[in-house]
Structure 1
């Protein structure tokens, strides 16, 4: 059975991907910090294996990965720091955003790619953001991490494609997830998703299942998924 290792699987896009890939026949390792959310996920799909670990804990993550055969790695875990002008941003929020969104993804990829290279096969997926490709106010560091992920994915593909390893960057626009739950109040969140015009996590998951199902000689290097009715000229928010 093909295995998929998904970080940030306790909610939003990660959870949707875990469910969709399990339904598609993948042996899914769902990674996250919330044990209760992971247990709820396993109760929903008994075939999913929950792994409670913080992706920034390198030693713990290495101990987990060292014993696993991973065919598909999905670097999805991410955080959104409080919105605001960069000049007012807390250093601790900068550090946390860089660590979770960028450093952890790079380190986890480094732990997994040697086994893929040895087998001459594998697929690595990164959840990026439209904020990494267009300028928006109040998200400077978040944008920086997603732009870096985009650059890393492209260069990683150049390193690994000759070994039969595929690399895909997901570039979502406005997706209705819990990403803003700690930095926006209920009224602001309702306004953001008013009219039911946001992309849903399940939409992204369906795209991932489809691209993973392509033959080994075809690599979707990047896919953008945006709301049909945008609220900004760029079409991403």
Structure 2
């Protein structure tokens, strides 16, 4: 996708930290940002799988000779390590212009009374506590500079829960409330707080939800065409490349046959 000269100028030379960067929507955002900036951008790609991050770095550097990429092995669910990880970034990478809270997951579709507590903890530590900790760590430097963008990747589940989604939906509702409060707290600063809420997107999401059961994961998308990762990353990059005074505060992004988290038409 071509974003144009103005888009490239608006993110040129900026340092971006994105979590969950090794696959799915996160990886797509990385590629779209690199393309939008014509390689004139600095990307801190954070995720649990270091080998994937190194492969992503090589791929980007092969495509864009001037691009700078710093792989950061980071499991946001291990939230107590986050402040020290950020503090240990090389000095030339320590000024974060854009934070993209993309890391998140769903685990299981069990009803209340049948849920596995490990799944509950996994979702809350990743989707809520890790996200809050990282944002809390980065916001002070943005407020001190009076500039910065924070992108929250939410979900339609944050708007409407569904049977089997009590925990996942509650984590995304928490993200939505946190984002709204952060936007209001930042009203006197030149910070842009951006929330993007995807509907059904076919990535590794459902494979993770069903603990690696690919057959179950495929059935989630039977009978309709879901979104893909690029559909979401294009919305993110569009939002980030508006002029500074323009805040695309919230984007609800759905495939044609979906009206809410639980209302999908299947042929």
Q: TM-score, normalized by length of structure 2?
A: 0.83
Instruction: Give, in whole Å, the separation in 1 of the partners of 2:243 and 2:172.
Output: 28
Q: Give CA deviations for 1:142-194 in whole Å, capped at 9, x if unaligned.
A: 00000000000001000012111010111100001101113433333223234
Q: Secondary structure at the match of 1:13?
A: helix
Cα distance change of structure 1 residues 195 and 90 upon mapping to structure 2, 3 Å threshold: closer
**1:1-237 → structure 2 map (5 Å cutoff):** 1-25=13-37, 26-46=41-61, 47=67, 48-66=69-87, 67=89, 68-184=94-210, 185-194=213-222, 197-230=225-258, 234=263
Q: Residue 224 of structure 2 contacts residue 257 of structure 2 at CA under 8 Å; is this kept in 1? A: no
Distance (whole Å) between structure 2 residues aligned to residue 191 and residue 154 of structure 1 = 34
Unaligned runs of 5+ in 1: none
TM-score normalised by length of structure 1: 0.93
**How far apart are the structure 1 equivalents of 2:198 and 2:225?**
14
- Could you tell me whether the CA contact under 8 Å between 2:79 and 2:125 is conserved in 1? no
Structure 2: tracts of 5 or more residues without a match = 1-12, 62-66
* Distance across 1 between alignment mates of 2:246 and 2:259: 33
Distance across 2 between alignment mates of 1:214 and 1:236: 34
Distance of aligned partners of 1:228 and 1:61 in 2 relative to their CA distance in 1, 3 Å threshold:
same
Instruction: Provide the C-alpha distance between the structure 2 equivalents of 1:37 and 1:174, rounded to a whole number of angstroms.
Output: 24
SS of residue matched to 1:131: helix
Quick check: 1:173–1:226 contact (8 Å CA) kept in 2? yes
Larger-gyration structure (1/2): 2
Q: Which region of structure 1 is more displaced relative to structure 2, 13-22 or 142-151?
A: 13-22
Report the CA distance between 1:60 and its aligned residue: 3.4
* Cα distance between partner residues in 2 of 1:87 and 1:22: 45
